[in-house]
Amino acid sequence: MAQKLGNYALGKWIEGTDDGELLVDASTGAPIALASSKGLDFGDMMRYARQTGGPVLSRMTFHERGRMIKALALYLIERKDKYYTISYQTGATKVDSWIDIEGGIGNLFAYSSLRRQFPDQPYSIDGDHAPLSKGGSFIGHHIMVPKRGVAIHINAFNFPIWGMLEKIAVNLMAGVPAIVKPATLTSYLTEAMVRDIDASGILPPGSLQLICGSARGILDHVESQDVVTFTGSASTGRMLKSNPRLIEESVPFNMEADSLNCIILGEDAVPGTPEFDIFIKEVRKEMTVKCGQKCTAIRRVIVPENLVEDVQIQLGKALSKTAIGDPRVEGVRMGALAGRTQLEEVREKIAQLAANATVAWGDPNQVEILGGDKEKGAFMAPVLFVQPEPFKYTEAHNIEAFGPVSTIMPYHNLDEAIELARMGKGSLVSSIVTANDQTAREYVLGAASHHGRILMLNRDSAAESTGHGSPMPLLVHGGPGRAGGGEEMGGKRGVMHYLQRCAIQGSPTTLTEVTQQYQVGGAYKDPGQHVFRKYFEDLRVGETVHTHKRTVTEADIVSFANVSWDHFYAHTDVTSLDGTIFTERVAHGYFVLSAAAGLFVDPGKGPVLLNYGLEECRFTKPVYAGMTIGVHLTVKEKVDQETRSEEDIPKGIVKFLVDVYDETGETVAIATILTMVAKRR
């Protein structure tokens, strides 16, 4: 009897029922598990997430969330071997499984590292302040806070681990809990990992829940603060997107749908060039990895008309070397489709594509395998079509066989190649293989409107390229039109999907307190002593040191030119100033900044460990000999840092606003410097 998969809901595991859907091994047809969601109350699950997981996550700072995600990644990577064993049952080879398992965990690592791009606060500040009044006493800003709902992730069958982790990494970083609904077909792999996540105790209760089996009706419980994401077929996505409850509550719906992705062979990439070989390798890989079951897989192979035969021959040779079979058998390079249902669906689409195209290689009904069961398994050989008239017969631009199937089609010039790429009506990704950078530029500018990502491949980038089919955590994954119109991941951009942007208005002093970032014009706070004498914990945003003043001399300007070797004419040659904005010899901007440092630095040994760098710097008014400058040094922002070892000095980064002003009180230079400041031991 197959085991019954569990559902993780309301902080506990709830076993499925005996009449659940039977899940089988994609290679042998052997029973694996029964999946059922009977007995789950989706409304209760969502309330639990909002009331239990949400408040804890939203109170955590971005840095705390990032460290939590990193801890989870380290925990899971130690247990990766067990996931490979289970993954083989989905028909995935070791390489396929590596993309799913370690690629998914890699997303956790990538998002944990993003914490350094956010403030050490539960919220984020978006952009610069907006001056709203003449005198500067009334300003505006934008703050971004975690939504107070739950992220509902409805995932596809082809990546049961990556699909979950690439999404929850983002919502957890934002401070929002999640309910994950993997495709039932391969949910046993997702369930195995969630059991480990639960056992780790790393995530706060209510942060993550899992539904194995049907989630029909879950969208009837969404509220305005929730976010729904969907990965899968465009038809299913459109059906879900039109749910009345989503519309009534104005719930964001992020859709990433399968699309008719393409690759372009540049006219310069003829046989014998590295680019031609790169092209053949990339197409073969995208047809066979995951048995072609990738939303980013290449479906349309667009080549110069005089190279169609060469591409057809070389691709056929490459595909003929691909050993197909049970991924647990040594030597197998392409496994099975995820199930017999998928196999029949792919064969049906192949029959539709064959109406006006020629099969150049492969037979969907004939396959030689190593291991596995040909009758019970879901094996299929790659199928390569040739469509010589792609503008007349458009099946390849409209029908996707979600398996190892691609169509070669010719173009006469680059404009035609761009038009063919656009005929996919919106794709997740396109690639162009060319050594001509001008060709790459023209293609990108012509095709970017219809694609979420474009890869430019040549001999310079191929060795380290992650390839056509690999979305990267810090780049957006999604696309317009047929691809769903959504965006996933994308680094900070992805996190923003789970944050609410709110415009805030008030005095600079009030906004300083709200944002915990000093706003120019805000009240200065008396630190009681020089800020360089205070430990990290003791510093408060807004504390300011008002320095002594210094009069700049011509000797200062000449000496700085000699020391720095900066002999730009405006600093050294008064006879060359006609027609410039300067009326006399002007002090170097970096001299002004250096002189400011001489004024605000407290030289004695103290909690300040080192200068960490400049974040921004502007010189706003010329400084001439005879002018007198002073500095307001203000604590602008504090960023905590975790210790990396017992020997590491506890410390944080303090951003100081350096406002250099002249004898009239007008700012002549303004900069943000970063210092590393020790904590109390």
- For the question of residue 256 being annotated catalytic, the response is yes
Given a contact cutoff of 8 angstroms between Cβ atoms, the answer to whether 635 and 540 are in contact is yes
What is the rounded CA–CA span in Å between residue 56 and residue 102? 28
Given a contact cutoff of 8 angstroms between Cβ atoms, the answer to whether 662 and 621 are in contact is yes
Exposed, middle or buried by CB within 10 Å (0-12, 13-18, 19+), for 347?
A: middle
Given a contact cutoff of 8 angstroms between Cβ atoms, the answer to whether 405 and 299 are in contact is yes
- For the question of residue 617 being annotated catalytic, the response is no
DSSP of 538-578, one letter per residue?
G--TTBEEE---EE--HHHHHHHHHHH----HHHH-GGG-T
What is the rounded CA–CA span in Å between residue 474 and residue 494? 9
Q: Quickly list H helices, 181-233.
A: 187-200
Q: H-helix or E-strand containing 407?
A: strand 405-411
What is the rounded CA–CA span in Å between residue 95 and residue 72? 23
| Strand pairing class (139-146; 124-125) | antiparallel
| Strand pairing class (667-678; 628-640) | unpaired
Q: How far is CA 189 from CA 157, 193, 197, 243, 674, in A?
A: 10, 7, 13, 29, 46
| CA 487 to centroid of chain Cα atoms | 9
DSSP of 575-630, one letter per residue?
GG-TTSS-SS-B--HHHHHHHHHHHH---S-SSEEEEEEEEEEEE-S--BTT-EEE
What is the rounded CA–CA span in Å between residue 418 and residue 451? 11
* Distant-in-sequence, close-in-space partners of 30: CB < 8 Å, separation ≥ 6: 24
Identified catalytic residue from 166, 256, 267, 488: 256
In degrees and rounded to multiples of 5, residue 464 shows phi and psi of -110, 0
Dihedral angle over CA of 446, 451, 456, 461, nearest 10: 160
Please give, one letter per residue, the 3-state secondary structure of 127-164: CCCEECCCCCCCEEEEEEEECCCCEEEECCCCCCCHHH
Closest CA to 151 of 164, 135, 168, 134: 168
What is the rounded CA–CA span in Å between residue 50 and residue 147? 10
Identified catalytic residue from 275, 295, 543, 637: 295
DSSP 427: B
What is the rounded CA–CA span in Å between residue 625 and residue 584? 9
* Distant-in-sequence, close-in-space partners of 646: CB < 8 Å, separation ≥ 6: none
- DSSP, collapsed to helix, strand or coil, labels residue 119 as coil
Closest CA to 298 of 261, 326, 329: 261
Please give, one letter per residue, the 3-state secondary structure of 264-322: EECCCCCCCCHHHHHHHHHHHHHHHHHHHCCCCCEEEEEEEHHHHHHHHHHHHHHHHCC
Q: How many CA atoms lie less than 13 Å away from 436 in the CB half-sphere?
A: 13
What are the catalytic residues? 256, 295
